[in-house]
Structure 1
Amino acid sequence: MTSPVEAAGLRPRVDKALAAFLATERDRLIAIDPALTEFAEALEDFVLGGGKRLRPAFAYWGYRGAGGADSEHVVAAVASLELVQASALIHDDLMDRSDTRRGEPAVHRRFERRHRDAGWRGGAGAFGDNAAVLLGDLALVWSDELLHVSGLTADELGRARPVFDEMRTEVTVGQYLDVLTQATADTSVERAGKVAQFKSAKYTVERPLLLGGAIAGATPELQAAYSAFGLPLGEAFQLRDDILGIFGDPSQTGKPAGDDLREGKRTYLIAAAFQALDAGARAELDAALGDQSLDDGGVQRARQLIRGSGALTATEARIDVLMAASLAALAAAPMDDEARTVLGALADAATRRTV
């Protein structure tokens, strides 16, 4: 079955826009200093080497749903969302001390290895960390630049700008709330929900939809419908991500089994388990969270505790409730029928995935 991201040939068009932009930026960096070649190529590899392209798809069909005509300028504009995503993932992997992303070394590990292989001075780990911070920053800077050089008209860009800015602020503060929640060991469902909303849910679905709608000059009624559709769907997407972070197959996710446990993620799934477990089991699960040395046996035990608490079933049920609300909003939205069909398929793909 064809992925809904392929509708209108979108995925290869997004990849083409990204490849062209990144090639131009690579040449610009090399002109500054040839030593920047590897720096530029690392971002190219990261952005072009994988990713579901869901955010550009939601933005593009938000645009089409508001009556916007197909345009390579719009495809380039929504492709800028992949650079926001790259920035978030590079920084997220660094903060979580993740070793891999999509089955390849995380960016900080890539540069750590480069330092070690070259026999450079100083600490290899610190060099890798510094490079990842800067590369993530560069991706965020370039996201803004790609939006501006996409070819949108001044009016289109003026409508898109506030949505784009708000989205980047939200994902950044969401990342901090995630770090803060791990540090304070806050396991409340309320805190987990807020982190999920701002770290991932809003910038995965709602803001891309609103961005596309803004470019097309969508009515306030349609933009409200996009929010009603996008917010619960974005939360459902994050809940699926949380489940995969603990129960996912590493051969599918590209990350080691139990990484979210070792990173101490205080997700909705974990919060639901804490609510249901008795004091002894809760203390056992709490000890596993954030334990960098947690082995496969420890991961399996934590999975047993979570599953036995009913938290996995409760989280799946929560996804179903959110999906029902999201799809009801989509059905009632005053929009183009082709876009409605594709957005429905994207919603299903976002929440039924295994990676």
Structure 2
Amino acid sequence: MTHTPAAPEPDLTGFRQAVDACLDRFLDRKAHTAAADELPPEIIDILRDFLFRGGKRLRPLLCACGWSAGAGGGETTRLVSVAAAMEMFHAFALIHDDVMDRSATRRGRPTVHRALATHHGAHRSQTAAERLGASAAVLVGDLALVWSDELLSTHLSPEQLPAVRPYVDAMRTEVMYGQYLDLLNTGQLTGDIETPLQVIRYKTAKYTIERPLHIGAALAGAGPAVLDACTAFALPLGEAFQLRDDLLGVFGTPEQTGKPVLDDLRDGKHTVLIALALTRANPHQDTILRTLLGSPDLDENGAARIRAILDSTGAHADTEHMIHTRYQQALTALDRAPFPATATAALRQIAHAATTRTA
């Protein structure tokens, strides 16, 4: 496939900074309005802290790559606003996800519901503070969802919004179904690999990789060939990205991942990694896995026993192989894609980082 050389190389570092500046200005305006109306300031303070505590900004960067893949050029104010909307939506999704998972930390800091519980806990019992924190976090997440829509629609022209909206709507719907499937299957310890792969497709591959590329490309006015090529690249890469995340959730460290390394094991997450181990485990190993996985009292010694089984059954190595295979599939699709060479180069870098990351 001959690549179109015309589009300028996307400045991903500069674009990330522009998205952060857009989010900062937006929250400044919201804080000013809240202060004028004498509304509680901690809502925006805690959301701002959450947004700016070191996220990867992967979805905005892929949106920029989609724009470049669609040969977008010229002024990028609208692109930045759309990308900022995607990051605000991601904040909503993570805040609610942490409430559902009862997670204590995110990116090395207290989750929003924990921060709110602490903020309001001085004159309440621990139970009352935790209940308030969880309820208030749902509302903060809801605000992030509403504000993501405001960021999306503010700067788009009457022609651009209808082009982008179907992909935004699809992204939002798919990630909700992915999260629901994840909830349904947590604690279901079986050797079924297809179910966690379905969760990965909807919760991660489409949400994290495919739809951000589609949104950027649609904003640039790309046609079906470009959009189809985005999908061919995105789905295997998205699966590899989540498979890496599953490995980090078991074999990573809190210093790397920013969250307790025992959470996925204590929750009994039904991942491909665990399904592979259950398929290959001997009766003794199977008993150990079923006894320890999903136990809220799991300690590091128990986790070490689980990790040893994941290694000895080959589940760890096979998951690494699945990551490598999907990474190569994504690169092959990229080689065939009708993208400008500069977009292809940027996507190749992102693919490498997404599959070899340690956090």
TM-score, scaled relative to structure 2:
0.93
Q: Deviations over 1:90-136 (max 9, x none)?
A: 11111111111111111111111122224479711111110111111
Q: Deviations over 1:322-353 (max 9, x none)?
A: 01111111111111111110011011111111
Matched, 1:104 2:109: yes
Gaps of 5+ in 1: none
- For residue 14 of structure 1, what is the aligned residue in structure 2? 19
RMSD over equivalenced CA pairs, Å: 1.7
Mean Cα displacement is larger for which, 100-109 or 75-84?
A: 75-84
Amino acid at match of 1:102: R
C-alpha distance 6-119 of structure 1, shift in aligned 2 (>3 A): farther
Matched, 1:44 2:48: yes
What SS does the aligned partner of 2:306 have? helix
Match of 2:300 among 296, 300, 304: 296
> How many residue pairs get matched?
350
Mean Cα displacement is larger for which, 194-203 or 311-320?
A: 194-203
Matched, 1:55 2:55: no
Distance 1:259 1:40 in 2: 28
Q: How does 1:261-272 map to 2 (within 5 A)?
A: 261-272=265-276
Distance 1:122 1:348 in 2: 44
Q: Deviations over 1:182-233 (max 9, x none)?
A: 1544551010101111111211100100111111111101100000000110
Q: Which structure ranks higher in relative contact order (CA pairs < 8 Å, sequence separation ≥ 6)?
A: 2
Q: How does 1:321-332 map to 2 (within 5 A)?
A: 321-332=325-336
Q: Deviations over 1:140-169 (max 9, x none)?
A: 1211111111x2222111100000011011
8 Å CA contact retained: 1:80, 1:144: yes
- For residue 70 of structure 2, what is the aligned residue in structure 1? 66
Matched, 1:137 2:142: yes
TM-superposed CA distance for 1:304, in Å, is 0.8
Distance 1:306 1:183 in 2: 17
C-alpha distance 336-257 of structure 1, shift in aligned 2 (>3 A): same
Distance 2:150 2:228 in 1: 28
Distance 1:235 1:99 in 2: 26
Match of 1:164 among 168, 176, 184: 168
Distance 2:209 2:248 in 1: 19
Amino acid at match of 1:45: D
Match of 1:219 among 223, 233, 237: 223
Q: Deviations over 1:24-51 (max 9, x none)?
A: 122233344332x101111111012220
Distance 1:350 1:118 in 2: 44
8 Å CA contact retained: 2:187, 2:270: no
Match of 1:198 among 196, 202, 205: 202
- For residue 234 of structure 1, what is the aligned residue in structure 2? 238
Distance 1:277 1:157 in 2: 52
Matched, 1:79 2:110: no
Distance 2:95 2:287 in 1: 32
8 Å CA contact retained: 1:201, 1:234: yes
Distance 1:187 1:106 in 2: 32
What SS does the aligned partner of 1:117 have? coil
8 Å CA contact retained: 1:5, 1:53: no
- For residue 284 of structure 1, what is the aligned residue in structure 2? 288
8 Å CA contact retained: 2:10, 2:343: no
Gaps of 5+ in 2: 1-8
Matched, 1:24 2:29: yes
Amino acid at match of 1:275: T
8 Å CA contact retained: 1:76, 1:147: yes
TM-score, scaled relative to structure 1:
0.94
Between Structure 1 and Structure 2, the one with more helix by share is: 1
Q: Deviations over 1:215-270 (max 9, x none)?
A: 11111011000000001101110001101011012111111222210122111111
8 Å CA contact retained: 1:247, 1:258: no
Matched, 1:335 2:339: yes
Distance 1:286 1:23 in 2: 50
C-alpha distance 100-50 of structure 1, shift in aligned 2 (>3 A): same
TM-superposed CA distance for 1:89, in Å, is 1.1
